[in-house]
Each structure stands twice: as structure tokens, then as C-alpha cells.
A = this chain, B = another copy of it.
Amino acid sequence: MLPWRNAYPARTTKAAESVTGVATIPVSVAQLRVSLGAYALSDDGDVVESAREVEDVVVPLAHTEGGLTASVQRGAKAVELSGGFVTHVVADRITRASCFVCRDASDALTLARWIGSQVDDMRSFLRASESSELSRYAVLREAKTHVVGPMCHVLWRWTTGDAVGPNMMTRNSYALNMAYVLPNAPVPIERALLEANMGGDKKPSFEFFQSGHGKTVIAEATLTDEAIERVLRTTAADLDALSWAGTHGAVASGMQSVAFTPASAIAAVFAATGQDLGMVGTSSMAHGTGRRVDGGLHASIRFPGLEVGTVGGGTGLPTAHEWLTLMDCAGPGKVYRFAQLVAATALALEISASAAMATAGSENFFRAHFERGGLRH
């Protein structure tokens, strides 16, 4: 009865305990022209750009939403005619949010100051450890403390190489909590909690929206009036009006993340490439902007935390690996490239979906959905 087949390789069947089958999602592709930055982490943990090149890249999209791939492709085509996407990696940090419950705020404040003073030593402690439990890929960058009541919340901020890194930073954070903070703290600690919600791990929050969790990436494009008319069948004025109403609609409904439909694109690339689908919601937090400029419209989207990896997790699954390879994003040294391509894909969809909504009565959007409704009811 179960859709289980012996044909699947061990990478698939051993990906989790008690695997008994698979889920298979169709994948279609779109092609994007992108000016990609070449980035590397500095010793201080800054993301530094060293070069920039325009490429045409094929992006895989796993989904069953009729019209979605066509919409991404349409947005990408309009941008290509306008000179291509430009993408930037702005920062790289991922956070495990521990919490130490003390007797009172006085003690919690003392602990917070002490933790602030120990970050260099903590880094050395982790580096010096011989424990096989610790990950060398997860490098402690900062420790942000936030005292409320008797709680000293600590956001351990890490870089994690080419993996998303939740497990490696969990192990290292745990080591800091248990082997560094607890034995050495200047005040008694009643409870040490490894995770107490401040960090944004699979949980959208304003902290996540502003300070990030994963790769902070901006994608932008300046659409020409001609591309807007020929490909998107609308005008810069219409797009501008939609952006205005949509931003105020977002405010009126209390969106923390103000954009049009980034989650559709994020989910589709994540599902194709073996990313953690539990991170679709957080990685889709975004801030989109639109602005008329001479001869067209500037559009951009800022992702505070794309939780992407090119090694680890599901990226080793056979299909994921093949799709990552298609993008030249498989394996070490590719994570900033991959993050930029995810952002550009999302911007392509933002542009096309907005265009569909921007015309009188959103007639285009309606037709797109009506004619290509696919499997939808």
C-alpha cells in the first residue's frame, strides 16, 4: 500500500529514522540573468564582495501551482530585457537563543554583562576543545543579551559555513551553556534553557525581520518602461499604484514582512534543492519596495534571513543534489551564490505577480490563474 520502492538510494532511505516511502514533487525550471557577487567571510565575520559577474542561470522550482513557473519566467524575462537582476549578500549570521533564568533582574544583569565580556574567551574555548561533539564550522561571532525580569536571554550568533547549521550551532551553544557559562557564571543560575524563542529558528519575528537569521540578501532590478509594457503588459505608474496600496494593506493587516508573494518562490526552490521546508516561513520574511525612476521602475526585495545551505541536511538527496548542480550551487563554497539566486527568483515572481495585479481590475492576473489553473480546483 505504501508508495515505497526499493529503487531509492541509501541517501534517501537513511535521511530520517524509519523512512517508509517518499513524496515526489514535479519540478519545472526558469532562467534568470543575474549580476552575482562573489563573496567571502572575513575573519571578523563580515561578508565581503570581491568580484561580480553577469550569468544566465537555470533555477528549479518544485510545486504544483499552475502558472507559477511561467510567472517567474515572465518576471525574469522583463528583468533580462532591462539589464538583469543585481544581487547582494549583506550579512551572514544564524542564532541559537538560549536563556538563563536567575534569581532576579539584578543577577540577570550581572550575568549579561559578564557574558558580554567573555565572547573572545568563549571563542577560544570552542576552538581549543578536543570534543568530537563540537563543530569547527560553527564560529561564534557575537553574543547579544537581553534581560527581562530574572531572565538573561542570550542570542548566540554564529556563522556556519556552507550549511544552514542548526545542529552544529545547537551543539556548540549547548557546550557554551553547560561547560562555560554554568560553571563560571558570577551569579547563581536557576535554569539554563538551550532555546527560548528569541532567535528566530523556524519562528518569524521582528527580531528575525530586522536582524536576520541566515544570509541577509537584497535583490534588485530597474525595469525599463519598454520591458514593463512588452513583457508585463502594464505600466510603471500602475505598478507604483499597486505597490502603494499593497504596502498600506500590509500595514493595515499587521504584516511584519511586507512583500507580495515571496513564499511561493522560496518554497519552490527550497523543495527542489533539499532545503529545510520548515524554514519556508522564516526565509520568506521580506521587505519589498517599488519606486518610479526615469524611464521605468526600480524594484527590490530584502531577505533578512535566507536559511539556505549547499551542504548538509537534504542537499545530499539525489534529486536535490542534481538540481543544485544544475545551478552550479552544489557543495562547499557555493552558499552565497545560492542565496543570491533564491532572492533573484523571488524578485522575478514579485515583479510578475505585481504586474498581474497592477492593471485595471487585475485582469491579467485573473486570466493567468484562470487559464493555467493547473491542478487547482
Contacts and interface: CB of A to CB of B under 8 A. Distances in A.
Given A24-B8, A101-B245, A206 B67 contact: no
Contacts of A60: 21, 23
Interface stretch (A121-129, A225-233, A267-275): A267-275
A40 interface: no
Given A69-B16, A245-B99, A317 B253 contact: no
A82 interface: no
Contacts of A289: 148-151, 248
Given A250-B203, A289-B248, A370 B171 contact: yes
A250 B205 contact: yes
A362 interface: yes
A224 interface: no
A218 B105 contact: yes
A63 B278 contact: yes
Contact of A177 (B22, B167, B271, B361): B361
Interface in A320-377: 320, 322-323, 325-326, 357-358, 360-363, 365-366, 369-370, 372-377
Interface in A116-158: 133, 135, 137, 146-151, 153
Nearest to A219: B105
Contact of A377 (B26, B99, B311): B311
A65 B247 contact: no
A249 B203 CA distance: 12
Contacts of A274: 23, 64
23 contacts: A8-B26, A16-B66, A17-B67, A19-B27, A23-B319, A86-B106, A104-B222, A105-B218, A146-B252, A149-B300, A151-B248, A168-B376, A171-B370, A196-B246, A197-B255, A197-B260, A204-B204, A206-B206, A206-B210, A210-B253, A247-B247, A267-B278, A311-B377
Given A23-B24, A277-B280, 5 more contacts: A66-B167, A191-B245, A198-B253, A312-B375, A313-B377
